[in-house]
Amino acid sequence: MLKLQNYINGQLVPPAAGRYLDNIEPATGQVYSLLPDSNTQDVAAAVAAAEAALPAWRALPAEERGRLLVRISELIERELEPLAQAESKDNGKPVSLARTVDIPRAASNFAFFGTAAQHFASETHFQEGVALNYTVRHPLGVVGCISPWNLPLYLFTWKIAPALAVGCCVVAKPSEITPHTAFLLSELCIEAGLPAGVLNIVHGAGPGTGQAIIEHPAIKAISFTGGTKTGEHIARTAAPMFKKLSLELGGKNPNLIFADCDLTEAVNISIRSSFANQGQICLCGSRIFIERSIYEPFKAAFLERVAGLTVGDPLEAGSRQGALVSEAHLLKVLSYIELAHEEGGTLLAGGKRVHLEGRCANGFFLEPTVFEGLTPECRVNKEEIFGPVVTLTPFDTEEEAITWANGTDYGLAATIWTRDLNRAHRVAHALHSGIVWINTWLHRDLRTPFGGMKNSGVGREGGLEALRFFTEPQSITLKLG
């Protein structure tokens, strides 16, 4: 059986204690590889390697660092198919999604930040005849990057690339549930000639390996994407050590569908925003509020499209819905379906585990599920489910829709469907969401700030925000004359 290895000081190495964890394929429920169960000793070795590599890496011109990152991007593009297959197998997502979204985006992350760092400028404030003030942005040093399982290589590289681009060295941990593409990335970094110790990838579980990273005194910042509870724990641990923190956390995103929208487009994209990656994207819209006059036509068209979503082996081309990432997660999502019944919801579609034949007989599959008749205040409409479960709710006024949309502890993303420009902007400004899409969903430009309000996070990633996060501004004043 394949044994993944840590990537420390430029080499693939086994975990210090020799312990491994099982890696399960969600579509089959079978263990198919082993990953290091790294401990504080492994993390300490990774930090030591990063500290040793730091002086030379930060001294390298941004253009040369960028060239290496672009080289990694090219290697990811070259390996698109094997990486997509690996991501699909590890996570349960349809291979078509990995091929068109996850892996191309991982390549873009390296290309984007590799070049962005060359255009990164700091401010100068000139006081005529008195003083010249300027800001230098120094790389923070050694930083920690911790990512979740839903978009494994996509989110892992979204953190690592900007950190490396500005001259930081990185100790990174992918989710123990989806470690495979991070391991393949280590091999590509070696091939690209990334200097030893600049990037270190340490595999293992959150409470062991992750905890050792967030507690390590030499790690100056933590860039974390994951659940809100874990984010809270990380903040409690790292904040007293004065580590810089970027936390991208959970969401409970609303879709607001107004009567004047392009109904066909609103239905088509809402299907994607509800069920892409089996609903396991932090940006998925799980609460769909529809203006009453088009509630029934929207519902009919939406349910017709849901019926066409084939649940099947993620490695097969025709599968639109793959497996959920783990049995534990499947059981969590099923418990929310149970709760939706208890809270008085009417099941319109799905609601049950799917048992496939053959290779996938023991996989973690679930029907795409739709409820109506739930109040906006019930738990199903307030708590993050993070699966293929959405609710439909009619609204009567714009104010009502905004109040309900804002009525959770989260504030990550929202989608508005309307042809009325004034309303689109008015509603967007009133929503407590870090990201608002008007007549689209998951349209990403890597230059824009990405992140959530309220319990959806602290700080922003993307573009200049990420480059600023991984640097420490120093203000220097020269008195003139």
Please give the residue ranges that form the binding site for ligand NDP (CB under 6 A).
146-150, 155, 173, 175-177, 205-207, 210-211, 214, 225-227, 230, 233-234, 248-251, 282, 384, 386, 412, 452, 456-457
Q: How far is the CB of 433 from ligand NDP (least distance, A)?
A: 12
CB of 158 vs ligand NDP, minimal distance in Å = 9
Q: How far is it, in rounded angstroms, from Cα 391 to Cα 379?
A: 12
Structure tokens belonging to residue 351: 């609601």
Nearer to ligand NDP, 35 or 140 (CB): 35
Least Å from the CB of residue 249 to ligand NDP = 5
As measured in angstroms, the least distance from the Cβ of 243 to ligand NDP is 12
- Amino acid (one-letter) located at 391: T
Residue with Cβ nearer ligand NDP (148 or 463)? 148
CB atoms within 10 A of CB 296: 11
Tell me whether residue 368 or residue 457 sits nearer to ligand NDP (CB atom).
457
Looking at the DSSP bridge assignments, the partners of residue 86 are none
Which residues fall within 8 angstroms of residue 331, CB to CB, at 6 or more apart? none
Compare residues 60 and 205 and give the one whose CB is closer to ligand NDP: 205
> How many Å apart are CA 370 and CA 40, to the nearest integer?
44
Q: What torsion do the CA atoms of 356, 362, 367, 373 make, to the nearest 10 degrees?
A: 140
Rounded Cα gap, residues 369 and 279, in angstroms: 10
If the CB atoms of residues 116 and 282 are measured against ligand NDP, the closer one turns out to be 282
Smallest separation, CB 430 to ligand NDP (Å) = 21
Task: Report, in Å, the least distance between residue 412 CB and ligand NDP.
Answer: 6
| Partner residues linked to 372 by β-bridges | 346, 392
Choice between 158 and 404, CB closer to ligand NDP: 158
Instruction: Check 145, 169, 282, 360 and give the catalytic one.
Output: 282
> With respect to ligand NDP, which residue has the nearer C-beta, 212 or 311?
212
Is-catalytic flag, 63?
A: no
248 assigned to active site: yes
DSSP string, 322-370: ---S-HHHHHHHHHHHHHHHHTT-EEEE--SEE--SGGGTT--EE--EE
Residue type, 260: D
Q: Which residue among the candidates 248, 291, 367, 461 is catalytic per the annotation?
A: 248
Task: Note whether 244 and 221 are within 8 A (CB).
Answer: yes
Strand order across the 471-479 sheet: 124-127, 131-139, 471-479
Amino acid at 301: A
Minimal distance, residue 238 CB to ligand NDP, in Å? 9
Give the sheet arrangement for strand 11-13, strand by strand: 11-13, 6-8, 199-201, 169-173, 142-146, 221-225, 244-248, 457-458
Please report the DSSP string for 111-172 in residue order. HHHHHHGGG----EEEETTTEEEEEEEEE-SEEEEE--SSSHHHHHHHHHHHHHHTT-EEEE
Tell me which residues are annotated as active site: 248, 282
